[in-house]
Structure 1
């Protein structure tokens, strides 16, 4: 297989697994009320179907770099696909909620390894000059999948049943594992020198577990004494983790990487963008269904128009990045996301399809301006042999940002419901505006923070 063909092969594999991973972040949300009814459990308990997946992602990403170095990127990549596919497939056969949550955990472990390892393999076979171009193609699924997930999930739910939503990605991921095993080249022999930082990983894992528990508590019960204890515990663990990382010869997270200004800015910008992107998708889906009474299928169809906008702009953003650097597309993109997101509240009827579709198309264009510059900025100034660890740290930050975006949006919806004495089953449009306005305000504020951070990017052309 020639180099160009191999590059295309690796890019296709990575693009498909990224699409499946991002699809499964959001597609199951439409099934939660149905799953709760099927297993005869309260709706709030089904939160852990999503939380288990997100937590497993966050816990497995930090270890991905070490595993890739220790056992080889190809082996870990194939193992990750197999775990992801097996977990998704087993969800189909879940006899109870506990088994379903356990399968989602297994799927999340595989998903957490997939993206950083796959991206490292991709960057290893491309020159730095081609990073922006290949990123623009492979990043598209990260924008398209969450946009089409509600429609696809609603369609499958109404036509086949909730089990088929979970199994959608399973068999395909297992097939990809076989194809990757046959087609990927063997890893080059590299000396394995660094021992694993078990102390750092233990502190990091405990921090993430308590963070997710805190977010779950806040969403369900508001701020309580238990929440305060968890918050104090988080602060203490964070300080202990930083101290541990500073005194390790081979730390889990090399804090020296953050001395690179581009890496600092890329992480800050990523936090703002992912928070806004996934937080808004969560908000919009519920607003259209609960506030306006749209079906999951119709709400998903309108939201899916975002994907068209993202695809339209995907190649133009590479030109903007080459001509003007990262500052211009990121400023325009985050500013547009911040302004267009609350405009969704102007959709006040389930029949405003034309206006809604146009608004989501425009929002998709703005979102599409952000992904490629942020990802490319994250590896600026680093050597190729550092990319594996860089991607591991960067993807861990991405996952935390996604989780916080969804969780805080959920918390603000719950707060809006309590402040307005609203009942989800009987909510009307006037109440919906008040209930969801806090969440959309948060999206705008975080996007504006991203605009401010983008102004710190040095003026460079690529």
Structure 2
């Protein structure tokens, strides 16, 4: 039995080799992946802040303009499941570079759109490129780094994942108040060109692998299921109520996803399912995926509230709001530096538990938020919360990668991406519904509106507690793995000293 098979079949994890310093090649690949991730992730957060502006510029209603965001999310959800198969079929590097080209060209086309219908269609095309970019980049980097260096690698990848939701609104506000809305798309051109040039020069030239025939049945079920769930949750967040459309979309999404699970588990060699769900027989991987899903809900559910609070309660403009969100980025940046080192010492699960505890402590001030709460106090709390997010999200994903061999990375990466995004979508939808229901009874009272945000943050606190429980499970499952790793390191040190 191969090492990879042993890890998956037994539900445990083989001890990883002691971590080494990242090689120059891995560092160069990391630069390329981060550049691509910035382009993909930055665009979604920039566009979110521009919706009201777009309704005026394109002479349409908010319900129609909302599809500029929804079309991107639906395309993103539909393409992620196929990334593993496509990376094997055409080669991960070739697929990554193609996704960068598609995303960049679609971004320029979005900036040239003449009406809202064109913009929505082009945003869907942009979502296909964006949906491929980050997962495929992670595949390339994870394979080159190896399991023993995943903590350091994931802390690098985490920089754009944590920082772009923070800096996106700031950049978006500056562009909207400056050159205009078209530049929220044109800004991707220099980033995309840079990522493409770096990729052509620095990424390894991989040969396509044996991918087998595409699991068309599985692709149809999981893609349509993801679209149903994503659309239902997005519509729930937009309207703040359970309509027939929301109920039908969510029900269809759940049924199709359940059908895919049954289909994937029944597929036998030589055929292979679109996503290898047997990875979840590895208890450490399953626990890491659960933690990733819950942390996605806690992170994105909380991030959506503060921009709304500053604009609705404190009447700040887009630029000022973006600047006021900046402090959480400082905390996240500090955490990215520390999280990789801490994960190497005590494991991803325990590191994520520490981050979860920090998240809980830093969320409490927002539960007590008022109409005149000091900006300094809010900024300090945001620094701490950003630190907690950085210390929890990436270590949990690191743990998922470290218990698998290189041959399983193509199967693991799209599943982690799906779980994180679905966790974020569910968390965001629930929090927005709670907030809108509370705001409906405020009758414009600033104090009552502030209290509504406090109640919504109470729900964020609840989601964060669930995420903490998930990371505690991960830490418990991971503990014997790290005991074996420490024993291996001591043995390696003894052998090295004996040779000396």
Aligned partner of residue 186 in structure 1, secondary structure? coil
Aligned partner of residue 242 in structure 2, secondary structure? coil
* 1:355 aligns to 2:377 (yes or no): yes
1:193-247: CA deviation from partner (whole Å, max 9, x where unpaired): 4211111111112212222332244332622344333343334323322222222
Which residue of the partner structure matches residue 196 of structure 1?
Answer: 214
Runs of 5+ unmatched residues, structure 1:
none
The one of 262, 266, 289 equivalent to 1:267 is: 289
**How do 1:299-338 residues align onto structure 2 when only pairs under 5 Å count?**
299-338=321-360
CA contact (8 A) 1:136 1:315 kept: yes
Runs of 5+ unmatched residues, structure 2:
1-21, 486-500
CA distance in 2, matches of 1:223, 1:205: 23
Which residue of the partner structure matches residue 187 of structure 2?
Answer: 168
**How do 1:416-431 residues align onto structure 2 when only pairs under 5 Å count?**
416-418=438-440, 420=441, 422=443, 427-431=444-448
Query: Normalization by structure 2: what TM-score?
Result: 0.85
Between 1:27-36 and 1:333-342, the stretch displaced more is 333-342
CA contact (8 A) 2:70 2:231 kept: no
CA contact (8 A) 2:40 2:130 kept: yes
CA distance in 2, matches of 1:429, 1:252: 51
CA distance in 1, matches of 2:138, 2:244: 42
* 1:380 aligns to 2:414 (yes or no): no
* 1:281 aligns to 2:309 (yes or no): no
Which residue of the partner structure matches residue 261 of structure 2?
Answer: 242
Between 1:339-348 and 1:91-100, the stretch displaced more is 339-348
* 1:213 aligns to 2:231 (yes or no): yes
Superposed displacement of residue 332, structure 1: 2.1
CA distance in 2, matches of 1:96, 1:380: 47
* 1:440 aligns to 2:457 (yes or no): yes
Superposed displacement of residue 402, structure 1: 2.5
Aligned partner of residue 106 in structure 1, secondary structure? helix
The one of 45, 60, 73 equivalent to 1:54 is: 73
Alignment coverage as a number of residue pairs: 454
Between 1:141-150 and 1:325-334, the stretch displaced more is 325-334
CA distance in 2, matches of 1:180, 1:262: 33
* 1:408 aligns to 2:430 (yes or no): yes
CA contact (8 A) 2:355 2:392 kept: yes
Superposed displacement of residue 55, structure 1: 1.6
Q: Which has the larger radius of gyration?
A: 2
CA contact (8 A) 2:148 2:402 kept: no
* 1:453 aligns to 2:470 (yes or no): yes
CA contact (8 A) 1:74 1:186 kept: yes
Superposed displacement of residue 436, structure 1: 2.6
CA distance in 1, matches of 2:290, 2:141: 24
Relative to 1, partners in 2 of residues 1:397 and 1:351: Cα closer, same or farther, differing over 3 Å? closer
CA distance in 1, matches of 2:167, 2:310: 15
Aligned partner of residue 145 in structure 2, secondary structure? coil
Superposed displacement of residue 161, structure 1: 1.4
Query: Normalization by structure 1: what TM-score?
Result: 0.92
CA distance in 1, matches of 2:427, 2:42: 16
